[in-house]
Amino acid sequence: MNIDFALEKIYSLKQFHVKLGLDNITDLLSHLGNPQYKIKTFHVAGSNGKGSTCSFLASILQEAGFKVGLYTSPHFVRFNERIRINGQEIVDEKIIEFLEKNKQYIDEKKPTFFEITTAMAFEHFAKNKVDYAIIETGLGGRLDATNTITPLASVITSISLEHSHILGESLSEIAYEKGGIIKNKIPVFIGVIPKEAEDKIGEICKERNSELFKLKDFIIEKEAGITLTLKEELLKINNTGLKGKYQLFNSALASKVLNEMLAVNKYKIIQKGIDNVMCNTGIQGRYELYNQTPAVIFDAAHNLEGVEQFIQEFKQEYKKYDETYLIFGAMKDKPIVKMLKILAPYFNRIILTASDYERAASINDLTIISNDLKLNYSCEVKPASVIDAFLKKNENKCLVVLGSIYLIGGIKSKMIHKRLDF
């Protein structure tokens, strides 16, 4: 079995199908000897910022000298990105080994793509005896396959209206689902979230006797940055290794978690972890400056809150360019009209495209919306070719590629392999 065949096998298991519930993953983990019980974990959920917060947690722990597992999803270009130890992706041979060893079980029980990937991560971390593993939820929390661990702490980064057909129509309902990762007497840390969601999280914590740490109680926001109150000192965060003011909050949340749970309190270690997050963890697609001149920015802003955070940063620099362009794609269950209304004023032209993900809005769907909004737009089925042509011009212009990780990952993959037929 080679890696392409191995990945094709698990991709075929309806990887895009959401099957919430813990029975299948519990059975699979039992088959593997319950590797999740052999690792110390931090569990992270949230509508936005969970991938970044996971990366800050891992990076700070690495700078503190620990061996750290990091499980995130989805991947951009390579499946291996999902499972890392101290920034190093799981190698092809280990993926093949896992699938070959468990072939009969997978063929008979047919666990989902995400269940297999989650189990693979837990086993990989346990076999390599990581000191700590940072685990990002897939969708929601309560019935997510990752919710089979008993973490040192549960972390909820943000809560906004998303996946309403699955998680609920209100912030309270969505908070209930994401709050499902809260365990009895396990500390809980939350970012700055709406009051309705915060109240629901508070209720769950009270029911489960879990101490609740609210980031808003420990930070002072200033124009230049934020000041975070740690156990023994104040930590001033003015910049991070990821661009965007919202990353100040993600890094502060990660810092507070590790300060309270593991007494990580040395300023230099925390700051190095915050500064070196990209090289330590390989995180990408967060206001990522792919090219300087002409400027190309990749941002995986996949929902309304993400778009608002992107524009908060982009509006500070868009006027320095002679022209700005946007390649845009989104999932059809997102508030696309609201997203485009926020984005449109900052771009001379919007280039509509779509990924091959089954939940993606089609170019035709986006065209209808753009006509209704009277936007200046064009359509492109090969966005990688647009970027390639743009990069050949040494002009003071900016091209932003914004949408889901699936969209950006697909484009990056084609660019890397120089196949511009996306």
Q: Where are the domains of the chain?
A: 3-281, 288-413
> Model confidence at 369, in pLDDT bands (50, 70, 90)?
very high
Q: Which CATH class is domain 3-281?
A: alpha beta
Say what the pLDDT of residue 422 is. Answer: 46
Say what the pLDDT of residue 282 is. Answer: 95
Say what the pLDDT of residue 420 is. Answer: 45
Q: Answer whether residue 333 shows pLDDT above 60.
A: yes
Q: Which region holds residue 69: left if phi is over 0, alpha if psi is between -120 and 50, else beta?
A: beta
Q: What is the pLDDT of residues 90-134, one digit of tens each?
A: 999 999 999 999 999 999 999 999 999 999 999 999 999 999 999
State the DSSP code for 387: H
Q: Answer whether residue 180 shows pLDDT above 70.
A: yes
Return the closest-CA partner of residue 6 out of 89, 125, 116, 108. Answer: 116
Neighbours of 371 (CB within 10 A): 10
Say what the pLDDT of residue 20 is. Answer: 62
SS3 for 208? coil
Helix spans in 168-289 (H)? 171-178, 195-207, 246-262, 267-275, 277-281
Lowest mean pLDDT among 20-24, 51-55, 92-96, 360-364: 20-24
Question: What is the amino acid identity at position 359?
Answer: R
Say what the pLDDT of residue 21 is. Answer: 77
Strands (E), 55-129: 68-71, 83-85, 88-89
Say what the pLDDT of residue 15 is. Answer: 47
Neighbours of 64 (CB within 10 A): 18
Q: Answer whether residue 9 shows pLDDT above 90.
A: no
CATH of 288-413, one of 3.40.50.620, 3.90.190.20, 3.40.470.10, 3.40.50.360: 3.90.190.20
